[in-house]
A and B are shown apart, each in its own frame.
Chain A
Amino acid sequence: MTVPIRQAKAVVGKGYGRLLTGIGYLVAASICAMAILITLDVGLRAFRIGNLPWLNEVAEYALYAGTFLAAPWALRLGAHVRIDIVVDGLPDRASRSLEQFVDLLGGGVCAVLLYFGCVGTLEAYEFGHMQFKTITIPNWPLLSVFAFSMLLLTVEFGFRFARASRPGAARGEDRGQTSGM
């Protein structure tokens, strides 16, 4: 591989990593905001000052969008639960091949869902589907979060596939973890 191509790949990889990290920080901030706003709402209600009628819906959208937007970031950090028995039991080369197969499978799943996510978003846009709750908003921006998440996940599986080709990478730190509850 020539030096400029390698440098370009490094720049893209770094930029992409920063994008994912930025999203992680954003989602973390949204959880803190949720805690503060819900407490404020309880306080306002307790003192009969009023309430924040839009809060439940905003929290619901934040939960959905946050989960999907942060999923690629969590994948990069190896924070998605997985079972490593087979990969761990294999010799390094076979382990890397299996890891790459799994990355291809994961990338394929996300690519299929990216396609259907785009179809769903475009349909919602064309037919003007709306969310009629306290806040009335069109459906398509919300659905586009799903498609965007699948795009990032497909790309991240591609990066993982490339990383898994390095010796010892299948047992590296970008592996899964178990549930945190």
Chain B
Amino acid sequence: MAWPEALALMLGLVCGGMALGLPVAFAFLLANIVGGFAFLGGSMSLSTFAAECMQAIGRFSLTPIPLFILMGEILFQSGVALKAISAVDRLIARVPGRLSIVTIFGGTLFSTLSGSTIANTALLGNVLLPQMVERGYAPKFAMGPIMATGGIAMLIPPSALAVLLASLAEQPIAALLIAGIVPGIMMAMLFFGYVIVRSAISPHLAPPYDPSEQISGSRWRPFLVQVVPLLSIFAVVVGSIFTGIASPTESAALGCVASTVACAAYRSLSWQKLVKAALETAKITTMILFIIAGSLTFSQVLAVSGATTGLIATMQALDLGVLMIVIVMLLILLFLGAFMDQVSMLLLTLPFFIPLALQQGVEMLWFMVLILLVMEISLLTPPFGLLLFVMKGVAPMRVTLTQVYAAAVPFVALELAVLALIVLAPGVATWLPKLIE
């Protein structure tokens, strides 16, 4: 079978299975079985599949995935994150679009403590959206910052997806984790600017009010008590990597223990909450790692059938130049991201993109940051961006999906601006990890 047919068969099986509603991991497994028989010598290759799965999943470098998720879940389930957001709410005085500013500040803060975009969005949506609606905020102006800031958890460490990406691409995990900090903060700053300018121009979107009428007592004390100590968790995670005390894997474990200690110190931890956090972590981790196991043979089949080399040779023949090839890859990811979840799109494209990027001499750290940014953007791109549905789930019943889509559009534009900046100026993303090296 020629490589274009092999490629069409494999992609067709995965995408067809997914379109029918087969869980993604099983769609990959279906393609593996067919591909195993067609290209890898049949039963021989399938009888070694279990051993290959063990090698692919049983990697110490993947342990930060459950641990970063557990860290966020502990803070989320214990209610400590919720108290921190409330403390931020008290701190911010009368500014245009105040509650949206609280959302962005609180969400960015929680991003430093959680590796989960869903937990981040759900938390912000549950806590702040009812207040915004009550204060007469326009729904699309209320929801946009929540979704956009929720996604920042993917960039700012701890980020489970950054660990997965670096691990699959066989690139340094620590460098990618650190490289996400600057773009993450840049996005938050842009969101701040947009909200302030937009609410100053159109005050009806976020009716101004005097927060002092509902806040009694000290503004700073809750912030100092509920928020500042939590920053020590971020310091433990990033600091242990910076100082070389721990590897990224070990820093994730330290972060879990630090989160547990912090929640216990706030007397917010109970056995039930801890169990709930651990069960949620087990569920999400299983889902992610099972897709990785499912997609394992997929990349081998693509390589053996000649699809990978064929596609790379075709791209080379087009003579597009490095920058254009990178842009084409990002456009493909943006397109897929509108229909697919982040893990699936990574596993579907990395077997082509990593060899192509390496072959073209693309700076891998820069390229991985770009992939992370595109994946963050794709959380918000209609029709199937993940956070759009998380938002719909926590929003009042009368909010339509079209309103949710409309809310995301300005923030997608801002995120695309950051992406464009980093495409044109790679140093923006890579200077910090290089400085640490």
Contacts and interface: CB of A to CB of B under 8 A. Distances in A.
Interface of A: 24-25, 27-29, 31-32, 34-39, 41-42, 46, 56, 59-61, 63-64, 66-68, 70-71, 73-75, 77, 79-87, 98-99, 101-102, 105-106, 109-110, 112-113, 116-117, 119-121, 123-124, 139, 142-143, 146-147, 176-181
Contact of A68 (B115, B254, B282, B293): B293
A178 B341 contact: yes
User: Considering residues B30, B58, B69, which has the most beta carbons from chain A within 10 angstroms of its beta carbon?
Assistant: B58
B20 A181 contact: no
B432 interface: no
B378 to A, nearest CB: 11
B242 interface: no
Given A35-B253, A82-B23, A106-B22, A180 B69 contact: yes
Contacts, number: 227
A74 B286 contact: yes
B169 interface: no
Closest 7 CB pairs of A and B: A38-B253, A146-B50, A180-B284, A80-B23, A64-B58, A28-B278, A60-B58
B115 A181 contact: yes
B154 A181 contact: yes
25 contacts: A24-B279, A24-B283, A34-B67, A37-B253, A38-B254, A41-B250, A63-B59, A63-B66, A64-B53, A68-B53, A68-B57, A68-B293, A80-B26, A81-B24, A82-B21, A82-B24, A83-B340, A83-B384, A117-B49, A142-B54, A146-B49, A176-B23, A179-B342, A180-B119, A181-B342
A87 B21 contact: yes
User: Considering residues A34, A123, A178, A180, which has the most beta carbons from chain B within 10 angstroms of its beta carbon?
Assistant: A180
A42 B360 CA distance: 39
Nearest to A122: B47
B60 A81 contact: no
Nearest to A157: B26
Contacts of B80: none
A74 B19 contact: no
Given A64-B58, A79-B287, 10 more contacts: A31-B285, A41-B250, A67-B286, A73-B283, A82-B22, A105-B17, A116-B47, A117-B50, A179-B344, A181-B343
Given A60-B60, A142-B54, A181-B342, A66 B278 contact: no
User: Considering residues B47, B161, B245, B250, which has the most beta carbons from chain A within 10 angstroms of its beta carbon?
Assistant: B47
B329 interface: no
A31 B49 contact: no
Contacts of A121: 50
A113 to B, nearest CB: 7
A32 B256 CA distance: 9
Given A24-B279, A38-B253, A98 B21 contact: yes
Contact of B287 (A68, A80, A83): A80
A35 B282 CA distance: 13
Contact of B70 (A31, A113, A119): A31
A77 to B, nearest CB: 6
Nearest to A105: B22
User: Considering residues A42, A113, A146, A178, which has the most beta carbons from chain B within 10 angstroms of its beta carbon?
Assistant: A178
A120 B53 CA distance: 12
A174 to B, nearest CB: 12
Contact of A81 (B50, B66, B250, B287): B287
B389 A178 contact: yes
A42 B245 contact: yes
A35 B24 contact: no
Nearest to A108: B30
B234 to A, nearest CB: 17
Given A83-B384, A120-B49, A64 B54 contact: yes
Nearest to B66: A31
A123 B245 contact: no
Interface string B37-53: 00000010011111101
A181 B160 contact: yes
A80 to B, nearest CB: 4
Contact of B54 (A77, A83, A110, A146): A146
Contacts of A106: 22-23, 26
A39 B62 contact: no
B70 A79 contact: no
Contacts of A181: 69, 115-118, 154, 160-161, 164, 284, 288, 342-343
A142 B54 CA distance: 8
B430 to A, nearest CB: 23
Contact of A35 (B60, B67, B154): B67
B246 interface: yes
A140 to B, nearest CB: 10
A14 B279 CA distance: 20
Nearest to A75: B23
Given A32-B70, A116-B43, A79 B29 contact: no
Contacts of A68: 53, 57, 290, 293
Nearest to B344: A81
Contacts of B343: 81, 179, 181
Interface string B160-179: 11001000000000000000
